[in-house]
Amino acid sequence: MAEYLKTEIARRLNKPPRTIEYWTSSGLVIPDIQPSEGKGKARVFSGRNLIEFAMVELLARLNVSLDTVRHVLAVLRTGKWVPPYKYCTAFEDRNLIHEEKINELNKWTQENTVRFETFWKTHEWGVSKELVFVTKKMIDLQGNLVDHEWFYLVYKEDDRFHFNEVFDAVMASTGGVQTIIWLGEIKDRAVKMILE
Give the β-pairing of 129-139 and 145-155. Answer: antiparallel
- Residue 55 sits at φ, ψ, to 5 deg, of -65, -40
Over 90: is that where the pLDDT of 126 sits? no
Please report which confidence band the pLDDT of residue 166 belongs to, taking 50, 70 and 90 as the band edges.
low
Q: Enter the DSSP assignment of 4.
A: B
Identity (one letter) of the amino acid at 95? Answer: N
How far is the C-alpha of 45 from the C-alpha of 43, rounded, in Å?
A: 7
Q: Which fold has domain 6-64?
A: Multidrug-efflux Transporter Regulator; Chain: A; Domain 2 (1.10.1660)
Highest mean pLDDT among 8-17, 38-47, 75-84, 124-133: 8-17
Please report which confidence band the pLDDT of residue 188 belongs to, taking 50, 70 and 90 as the band edges.
very high
Q: For 64-95, write each residue's pLDDT tens digit.
A: 999 999 999 999 999 999 887 654 444 445 55
How far is the C-alpha of 70 from the C-alpha of 68, rounded, in Å?
A: 5
How far is the C-alpha of 188 from the C-alpha of 126, rounded, in Å?
A: 6
Ranges in the chain annotated CATH 1.10.1660:
6-64
47's CB contacts (< 8 A; 6+ apart) are 1, 2, 4
Per mean pLDDT, which range of 8-22, 121-135, 142-156 is the poorest?
Answer: 142-156
> pTM of this prediction?
0.80
How far is the C-alpha of 103 from the C-alpha of 111, rounded, in Å?
A: 12
Of 95 and 104, the structure prediction assigns the larger pLDDT to 104
How far is the C-alpha of 31 from the C-alpha of 46, rounded, in Å?
A: 7
Pick from 48, 190, 68: nearest CA to 121: 48
